[in-house]
Structure 1
Amino acid sequence: MKHSLPPLYVSHGSPMIALETSPAALFLDRLGPAVEAAFGRPKAVLVVSPHSSTRETMLLGGLRHEAIHDFGGFPQALYEQRYDAPGAPALAAEIARSLAGSGVAAQSVEASGLDHGIWTLMKRAWPGADLPVLPLTLVPNASPARQFALGEALSRWADEGVLIIGSGSLTHNLRRFFSSPNAHEGNRELPVSPDVAEFQEWVRARGAARDWEALIDYRRQAPHAALQHPTDEHWLPYYIAAGAGGRESPAVRIHASVDAGMLAMDAYAFGPQAARLAEALGEALPA
């Protein structure tokens, strides 16, 4: 029986997730096998990351992609990591045409490369690098409502075997992180800040209630929204994944953890098959 693939929002956090053994990294190790156990092998993985941003939606339709080390100040072992994966040029062109037909300005370009918001999570979930990857750029000045509408326009591709992933971070205040005397020294055992926990719970509860209007208006309604996201580019991919899942199904949290007490690494599945993936992961959290 054919099942639509549940779109996902996954927190990628630091590029070190490619090497570390944090709870979020170990979750990613199980994600790929769980997807395939529940739904079979995806035709391709379409990933939108805040680290590839453009003024207009673009699909990178290169024949092959390589990992881009778009960061500095990390151990040499991280720069030695590779992830060379096939692209999906024909699919990129087809999706671009379908988006344009839905009224979304989009184009396919002959460009290659996977930023760290894409290759680090793919390397954990599909380490064999043999699954076609299709990067979708983020338009960071588009509102949550527009991001959600883009997701809705992409939704048909979940029925065609394309796994849609929004890569970001549930909370992302790096100034706060680097100003903390202990957080950026690898201390993952710091107590979770109450404001982070409140934001996590608000997102979980609103998603479980299918309260998309509140989520879209998160800047005014979510507790401590500006503190968690001084700029919201790492949060916007949530709406693309949620829109692709549709308004009728609740968001299902499939992972929750916090790095250094302040960087929430939660992941969500959307659409009618979200609970099926949570069951496959063995990690359905209380609603």
Structure 2
Amino acid sequence: MLPSLFICHGSPMMAVEESAYTAFLKQTGTRWKPRAIVLFSAHWETRVATVSFAAGPLPTIYDFGGFPDELYRLTYPAPGSPDVAAEVEARFARHGIETRRDASRGLDHGAWVFLRHMYPDADIPVVTISVQPFLPAARQLAIGEALRGLGEEDILVIGSGTTVHNFGEIKWKQEHAEPWAAEFDAWIADKVTKRDAEALADYERLAPHALRAVPRPEHFVPLLLAYGSASGKTAPRVLFEGFQMGTFSLLCLEM
């Protein structure tokens, strides 16, 4: 049985960097070899939950600008899986969740940047799902719950985002975390590891510095989606903690 993961996808530059964090990603990829990956990306927003039915090899989406040319030459041609996409669609339907299909969607940088470290051979089928960031947190958990049990089918569910994601607060050359950002991350990690879904559903009111850490929720809701999809049969745990530029969290969780 596979867990669900929340993975920080980082800056596009992470695709070509070597660091303690990319070493962690490489090591994490050796722990599990799923038959498919189902991934919620913070960089695919739609009004209605949309599932990629592309068969692949999936195109690499360069949804960023102003970076070195070498990034635009990188590809991650993983296959898709219409069969797994159909299973996701059916599970959502059983829970009354409206969906749409996208027959051509590739992998945005919320997917391929970290997957090329975890699974460099690009040989595991990937099915991406869009996010609807302004749905309430409790609804995000419920959407994730519709996918509970995929881990028992050797499918790895990943929420790709960042817990603290406020570009207005970045300290470009600062190595240590700002205290408020670290406090928010510690609260989130504590509630996840204690399986306190009720607190997570009310994080905007209960978590310290929530609106400062999450001024816009698109990068945070993948954590809630992944948490909801977890089986609950294993103890959640922190996989990696750290910050870049003072306020950019690298928190990763196994659930």
TM-score range, shorter chain: over 0.9
Separation in 2 of the partners of 1:98 and 1:29? 31
CA deviations over 1:105-154 (Å, ceiling 9, x no partner): 12333122101000111111001011101011111221111111111110
**Are the equivalent residues in 2 in contact too, given 1:63–1:112 (CA < 8 A)?**
no
Query: What TM-score comes out, normalization by structure 2 length?
Result: 0.95
Identity %: 36
Q: How does 1:119-268 map to 2 (within 5 A)?
A: 119-177=112-170, 180=171, 183=172, 187=173, 190-246=175-231, 250-268=235-253
Separation in 2 of the partners of 1:197 and 1:111? 39
Separation in 1 of the partners of 2:122 and 2:191? 35
Secondary structure at the counterpart of residue 217 of structure 2? coil
Paired AA for residue 26 in structure 1: A
- Greater Cα shift, 15-24 or 70-79: 15-24
Secondary structure at the counterpart of residue 218 of structure 2? coil
Q: Would you say 1:25 and 2:22 are equivalent positions?
A: yes
Q: Aligned to 1:15, which of 8, 12, 17?
A: 12
Would the alpha carbon gap of residues 107 and 157 (structure 1) be closer, same or farther in structure 2, given more than 3 Å must change? farther
Deviation of 1:191 (Å): 2.3
CA deviations over 1:193-250 (Å, ceiling 9, x no partner): 1111111111111122221111111111111111111111100000111011145754
Separation in 2 of the partners of 1:269 and 1:28? 13
**Are the equivalent residues in 1 in contact too, given 2:151–2:231 (CA < 8 A)?**
no
- Greater Cα shift, 95-104 or 245-254: 245-254
Separation in 2 of the partners of 1:248 and 1:211? 15
Match in the other structure for 2:48: 56
Paired AA for residue 210 in structure 2: A
Would the alpha carbon gap of residues 260 and 93 (structure 1) be closer, same or farther in structure 2, given more than 3 Å must change? same
Paired AA for residue 199 in structure 1: F
Q: Would you say 1:269 and 2:234 are equivalent positions?
A: no
Deviation of 1:33 (Å): 0.6
Separation in 2 of the partners of 1:159 and 1:246? 8
Would the alpha carbon gap of residues 250 and 213 (structure 1) be closer, same or farther in structure 2, given more than 3 Å must change? farther
Q: How many pairs does the alignment contain?
A: 254
Paired AA for residue 205 in structure 1: D
Q: How does 1:81-120 map to 2 (within 5 A)?
A: 81-120=74-113
**Are the equivalent residues in 1 in contact too, given 2:5–2:226 (CA < 8 A)?**
yes
Q: Would you say 1:45 and 2:37 are equivalent positions?
A: yes
Name structure 2 gaps, 5 residues minimum: none
Name structure 1 gaps, 5 residues minimum: 36-40, 271-287
Paired AA for residue 203 in structure 1: I
